Structure 1
């Protein structure tokens, strides 16, 4: 439109058209300058969760820092078709928003390149720049739905699974406020008397029988299915309180419990037969 008006002004010698074209060109120049400045000095980082499973949506955290004094507006962060919008970020401040992502394959993968875009100040042009990352992430094998007998869970009464996280006979985990659901034998009477409020002892759940998962003994059509079943068994068994180990062709990981050990086993499966 601006070019059309410019040609018309030259051909007709109309001063009003010259004025309109000058205003439009000036507006475009100022808009371009403001749009470019809006993307400058913006720092982006991605925080990934500890557990990322192939084929399952996962929430990444996009951290944005505006390192200049002026505010930044309408910043859109895009990752493989998914995007999140930061409407306004004050100068010198930070903001964080979740962004859904999905990784289809297990193993070590580079963090995808982000694209920072903005339509500021007016939605005439979209300005953007790529933001590459050097970080890598580990994607665990795809989880499967297993029947209770395979998962080692057995049949449960409704609500039983939720109560397993808080045991009555294991090691003392912490002291918390009495909620009315705990049995009287868990009340810490001495501490309750000192604080004039009922306190209860929370115990870690008792450990079940150790479980050793042998990758070669899992019946499946191919390696990826075996790894998928093994990862599901690891997550299920440790959640059920069973110390769990892993028997791989090259090495053996002895049974243990806890979240750190679970992540170690899942990492072994994720990187198995991968460079």
Structure 2
């Protein structure tokens, strides 16, 4: 580990020790005030005015210096009170697939009106005004890989009203996101979705052709008679009872899990009864939202090396 990485790790551990749990009012001892560049320049200006007044016995310089100092003191107190006592809660997304973004709903409540409260996390941030004491923003957290991903530390801060100081605090979400594999559609999944391979008795009608339609599905005879190019439409394939098997997929483990994820989604949409076989574990056949959720969770938690069971319904 390099020097920079070690320093970041120590800083992260220190921030976590100072963090406040979710849904807890921000206490005074966890709220920190740091000067901004503008605030540092303000302090230098006050010091220069005081020295100028002392050196030249200039009363106007004294008045201006003390007025700026008093204004800075009031601003510091207002900035501190703008964050004191706020509560932060999270709304986790219903489901997240690898390669997309996890949109975290951050709810900030303060019991009274607050202004320009900034919320940062996962490399993004937003600014909230709480005219009625509560507001919500969305932070987009990248979900690069499947599996269990902890919610990062959140940072709330405020520079209101003049930006002389920055009041900040850290919020420890202490929650995790379950990232499902990125669906990868193979030939079997495509055939099940579009209903390829159906018999002529499953023909359901015609619709106007669209770009991307298969040439084999185009109604050429209809086009020769009417001059309108149409596409043959087939009825939805009958429901099936299938097993989705890890060993029947090709590619590396992540590619296989992505293929199984796509098959779960397609068979769920078709209303099929399906089960899932992974090395060392089997999810019995079923259907519905619960079956879909447990199958996706199993794929998300699956460890190709350990092959540990991941669901209470697993045998």
TM range (shorter): 0.7 to 0.9
1:118 alignment partner, one of 158, 166, 182: 158
- Counterpart-to-counterpart distance in 2, 1:50 and 1:211: 26
Q: Which residue of 2 aligns with 1:36?
A: 80
Structure 2 portions without partners, runs of 5+ = 1-44, 197-205, 209-235, 309-315
Q: Which residue of 1 aligns with 2:32?
A: none
Q: Which has the larger share of helix?
A: 2
- Counterpart-to-counterpart distance in 2, 1:261 and 1:249: 19
2:294 alignment partner, one of 250, 256, 264: 264
- Counterpart-to-counterpart distance in 1, 2:108 and 2:247: 45
Shift in CA distance, 149/225, structure 1 to aligned 2, threshold 3 Å: closer
Shift in CA distance, 27/255, structure 1 to aligned 2, threshold 3 Å: same
Q: Which residue of 2 aligns with 1:20?
A: 64
Report Cα offsets for 1:93-145 as digits up to 9, x if no partner: 4333333222212212221111112121123333221111212221111223x
Shift in CA distance, 268/45, structure 1 to aligned 2, threshold 3 Å: same
User: Which residues of 2 match residues 163-242 of structure 1 at below 5 A?
Assistant: 208-220=239-251, 222-242=252-272
Q: Is the 8 A contact 1:206 1:241 kept in 2?
A: no
Q: Which residue of 1 aligns with 2:25?
A: none
- Counterpart-to-counterpart distance in 2, 1:36 and 1:209: 63
Post-superposition offset of 1:158: 6.9
Q: Which residue of 2 aligns with 1:195?
A: none
Post-superposition offset of 1:252: 0.7
Q: Is the 8 A contact 1:207 1:243 kept in 2?
A: no
Q: Is the 8 A contact 2:129 2:135 kept in 1?
A: no
- TM-score of the aligned structures, taking structure 1 as reference length: 0.74
- Counterpart-to-counterpart distance in 2, 1:40 and 1:255: 53
Report Cα offsets for 1:231-251 as digits up to 9, x if no partner: 121112211222221101111
- Counterpart-to-counterpart distance in 2, 1:246 and 1:256: 10
1:85 matched to 2:122? The reply is: no
Post-superposition offset of 1:207: 6.8
Q: Secondary structure at the match of 2:284?
A: strand
Shift in CA distance, 96/158, structure 1 to aligned 2, threshold 3 Å: farther
Q: Which residue of 2 aligns with 1:65?
A: 109
Report Cα offsets for 1:180-216 as digits up to 9, x if no partner: xxxxxxxxxxxxxxxxxxxxxxxxx997102211112
2:148 alignment partner, one of 99, 108, 133: 108
- TM-score of the aligned structures, taking structure 2 as reference length: 0.65
- Counterpart-to-counterpart distance in 2, 1:158 and 1:223: 40
Post-superposition offset of 1:41: 0.7
Q: Is the 8 A contact 1:105 1:139 kept in 2?
A: yes
- Counterpart-to-counterpart distance in 1, 2:238 and 2:126: 43
- Counterpart-to-counterpart distance in 1, 2:100 and 2:207: 26
CA RMSD, Structure 1 to Structure 2 (Å)? 2.4
- Counterpart-to-counterpart distance in 2, 1:230 and 1:253: 13
Report Cα offsets for 1:51-103 as digits up to 9, x if no partner: 11121023221111113xx421111111122222212243xx43333332222
Q: Is the 8 A contact 1:148 1:154 kept in 2?
A: no
Q: Which residue of 2 aligns with 1:201?
A: none
